[in-house]
Structure 1
Amino acid sequence: MLKVLHLSDIHMGSSFTHGKVNPETGLNTRLEDFVRTLGQCIDRAIAEPVDLVLFGGDAFPDATPPPFVQESFAKQFRRLADANIPTVLLVGNHDQHSQGTGGASLSIYRTLAVPGFIVGDTIATHRIRTPNGDIQVLTLPWLTRSTLLTRPDTEGCSLAEVNHLLIERLQPVLEAEIRRLDPDCPAILLAHLMADRANFGAERFLAVGKGFTIPISCLIRPEFDYVALGHVHKHQNLNPDNNPPIIYPGSIERVDFSEEKEDKGYIWLEIAKGEVNWTFCSLPVRSFCTINVDAFEEDDPQEAILRAIARKPIQDAVVRLIYKVRSNALERIDTAQLHEALKEAHTYTIRPEIVTKIARSRLPELGAGNHLDPLEALQAYLKNREDLQDISAEMVEAARELAGSEL
């Protein structure tokens, strides 16, 4: 069986706001985190070694990353070329120019003719020769309107109508590639897309709404032994029957707090024609930790906040502290003490939320099941309004007069 490592959504160069400058290197520590995590994936690929590495797209946050970020990415993938491990780099939505014309951040690897590297920026099938046999990889990069549609096709159409047209155009193109597959050679679909069964990760906030949703029926095909996806940051298998497995490995690092509770990793795959075994391999990534404290009713809000911090595993984590206090209690918060309590964190932010009033509890005597006349209802209401006690008698008398005048 062939060994394949499938990873995706590196987004190298993102999450800088959650890091700090390393004085020894001059680099943001979050960039160093991403490089370290990617390096662990490459280490595994070389140590085995694998027969093929599949990258599912979104190398960077955008198509024009800073040179030092590109260099950090290239140094890791260059190790695969040096080890003679074939690699397919698929173009994702973040790898493309905003107009959707090409994969600017990855096409350099084709231009430089990096040995063994294939850049998947078109719908095409690639037959790859490995020491343990051949394998077919059908690449399906991120689709934009301009990929399969012209401006007259979409003029005056709603987003839903454009999506329908795109699927109509995609299906015969994909079908033509599938029919050209060698039935005796293992086949993988490598695609960067949003499938209609997928659960969002942080990509919901990273421009996922600008794309299209592909029906899962386009992917569940007997000709594919494995479907390797990218785009969604949360690991998941969209076809639990595994005929074929349709897998998002998820992103390899946490991009923001929306991924706080998600495991990060890559897929280890052993494949032959008609047989596939896959495993999700977790990566030891930096933890994110949210500390929410409602100190509105606390007599000592400072102590309540400190207790909440002490209960959380904040060492070397990216932390955000959010606490709610009364406006008149804000001056009782010793911010310097909070900074001291959070110093074990990698980085942290503190966000106070001032609550000026609390919602009043409902009065049981005014519930829907009780029947009070208007005067009784008013009296019940006034009993629970301390600020109106001085004038409550006058209000009740005025109400009686109004009620009497209407009889």
Structure 2
Amino acid sequence: MTRVIHTGDTHVGYAQYHSQVRRQDFLDAFGAVIDDSIDGDVDAVVHAGDLFHDRRPELPDLMGTISVLRRLDDADIPFLAVVGNHESTRGGQWLDLFERLGLATRLGDEPTVVGDTAFYGLDHVPVSRRDDLDYAFAGHGVDHAALVAHGLFEPFGYADWDTAEVLAESDIDFDAMLLGDNHKPDVAEVDDTWVTYPGSTERASASEREGRGYNLVTFGPDAAGGDDCVDIRRRALDTRPFAFVEVELHEGEGESRVRDRIREHDLADAVVLVDVTGGGDPVTPAAIETFATDEGALIARVNDRREVETDAEIEVSFADPEDAVRERLDGMDLSQAARDVEGAVRTDSIPDANVRETVKDRVEERIDDVAAFERVEPDDSEGDADENDADGDEGDTDESDADDDNADGNDADGGVTDEIGKDGEETNSGARDGDGQVSMEDYL
């Protein structure tokens, strides 16, 4: 019998809502899965892709992940994984680095046997290249087999990959497909094979309302009772609380009603997402967000979905836009170099035709000054600036880079004490390119 934890879509490094606290939450959720693996004495951890949110993770995220994987390695529990679309690079993969360090195994068409189960891997493949796949896998000599893959497979939402075709064309009879990419946990049976998503380990979108977690999968005779050799059970994770506040306003109702509805929720350290519908009076999102944070919320976002129809002529006035821009920039933890570039782009003193060259010159002037590319702490505690969008623009069912304003964070132990050199050994100086992110070519 083989027991594994099936997880995926951890998106380490995602500074959701431009919050460094949320960035740490994603690493902490991954660490919680690993801690449960150690406490539960499972045979392996199977990760179905998108370990990182970005294909060029910053050094603190990389080191934090290594710190977590070392805990698993110290417990002699293998980490088996595939590459997802968010983290995929054109050359070597970060998973290759972890494999060279002895902290992971990148699954592929050769079997990796754990107990009585052979695990195979299928990295994310764009739709345009899937016609070239032949699903040829090497044989194995054990009782069970599982395919770990990253993509949107049928019969689940947003599907663009034919699960039945994969199973029919594969050289191996798989007992289960352990999937990643869809953030909603789900399970189904396709042609006598169990197909399942564990969901993401942190809420990467306002649409992910259900609690987060992972799968505990057991392979073995009568694992699920009866004749079924696969048992899939859902395990919950304790993650950052989200408060979803839905307010339908009627005639004569406005901000006071919205505040009353917010008070009905536990706001302590929560991400509060307010959805306003109906009619009623106008509300000011910024004022509502400030109220929620004053009441204890970590982050608040308001989405006013109402359509206001009027024949009256509306007079609109604006505060000083420069003040608004400066306030937003102060919350974005930009480095001094980034502020120089932003100033060049926005100023009226540089003709549009000269902006490109000016930006190039400013970057070149600072290219040898590493400190200029470090983020600058804002005056407030978090600098949590973002659009007033309760959806948070965090969808994950596309194949985009999803680049975000990632800045420095902490590793799972609260700090970064060492870095990894090109030969895989620890060194006191890491390799970092000019934008503060780590380049794969520095290591592989």
TM-based fold match above 0.5: yes
TM-score for both structures, normalised by structure 2: 0.61
Q: Indicate whether 1:187 and 2:149 are aligned.
A: no
Match in the other structure for 1:108 = 97
Task: Provide runs of 4+ in structure 1 moved above 6 Å.
Answer: 324-327, 332-335
Whole-angstrom CA distance in 1 between matches of 2:166 and 2:288: 57
Once structures 1 and 2 are overlaid, which stretch shifts more, 225-234 or 270-279?
Answer: 270-279
User: Which of the numbers 309, 312, 315 marks the counterpart of 2:262?
Assistant: 309
User: Which of the numbers 138, 141, 151 marks the counterpart of 2:123?
Assistant: 141
State whether residues 48 and 82 of structure 2, in contact with CA within 8 Å, keep that contact through their aligned partners in structure 1: yes
Whole-angstrom CA distance in 1 between matches of 2:205 and 2:10: 13
Whole-angstrom CA distance in 1 between matches of 2:184 and 2:200: 7
Q: Would the alpha carbon gap of residues 125 and 311 (structure 1) be closer, same or farther in structure 2, given more than 3 Å must change?
A: same
Match in the other structure for 1:225 = 175
Corresponding residue SS for 2:273: strand
TM-score for both structures, normalised by structure 1: 0.66
User: Which of the numbers 339, 347, 353 marks the counterpart of 2:290?
Assistant: 339
Unaligned runs of 5+ in 1: 20-27, 146-161, 201-207, 360-407
Match in the other structure for 1:275 = 229
Unaligned runs of 5+ in 2: 222-227, 312-444
Whole-angstrom CA distance in 1 between matches of 2:153 and 2:278: 43
Q: Would the alpha carbon gap of residues 219 and 287 (structure 1) be closer, same or farther in structure 2, given more than 3 Å must change?
A: farther
Match in the other structure for 2:200 = 251
Question: 1:181, CA displacement in angstroms?
Answer: 3.2
Question: 1:258, CA displacement in angstroms?
Answer: 1.8
Larger RCO (alpha carbons 8 Å, 6+ apart): 2
In the TM superposition, what are the counterparts of 1:62-101 in structure 2 within 5 Å? 62-97=54-89, 101=90
Q: Would the alpha carbon gap of residues 339 and 276 (structure 1) be closer, same or farther in structure 2, given more than 3 Å must change?
A: same
Question: Which protein is bigger by CA-based radius of gyration?
Answer: 1
State whether residues 198 and 214 of structure 2, in contact with CA within 8 Å, keep that contact through their aligned partners in structure 1: yes
Question: 1:240, CA displacement in angstroms?
Answer: 7.6
Question: 1:341, CA displacement in angstroms?
Answer: 4.8
Give, as a single letter, the amino acid of the residue that structure 2 aligns with 1:226: A
Question: 1:48, CA displacement in angstroms?
Answer: 2.5
State whether residues 13 and 27 of structure 2, in contact with CA within 8 Å, keep that contact through their aligned partners in structure 1: no
State whether residues 325 and 352 of structure 1, in contact with CA within 8 Å, keep that contact through their aligned partners in structure 2: no
Question: 1:263, CA displacement in angstroms?
Answer: 2.7
Q: Would the alpha carbon gap of residues 78 and 325 (structure 1) be closer, same or farther in structure 2, given more than 3 Å must change?
A: same
Match in the other structure for 2:163 = 215
Question: 1:8, CA displacement in angstroms?
Answer: 0.6
Question: 1:190, CA displacement in angstroms?
Answer: 0.9
Deviations 1:226-261 (A, max 9, x none): 2111111100113188x32111111111012121x2
Match in the other structure for 1:9 = 9
State whether residues 179 and 198 of structure 2, in contact with CA within 8 Å, keep that contact through their aligned partners in structure 1: yes
Match in the other structure for 1:47 = 39
The alignment-based identity, stated in percent, is 26
Q: Would the alpha carbon gap of residues 177 and 312 (structure 1) be closer, same or farther in structure 2, given more than 3 Å must change?
A: same
Q: Which has the higher helix share?
A: 1
Whole-angstrom CA distance in 2 between matches of 1:57 and 1:335: 37
User: Which of the numbers 95, 105, 110 marks the counterpart of 1:118?
Assistant: 105
Q: Give the total of aligned pairs.
A: 302
Question: 1:18, CA displacement in angstroms?
Answer: 6.1
In the TM superposition, what are the counterparts of 1:124-203 in structure 2 within 5 Å? 124-128=109-113, 130=114, 133-144=115-126, 162=128, 166-167=130-131, 169-170=132-133, 173-174=134-135, 176-177=136-137, 180-182=139-141, 184-200=142-158
Match in the other structure for 1:237 = 187
Q: What is the aligned-residue RMSD (CA, Å)?
A: 3.1
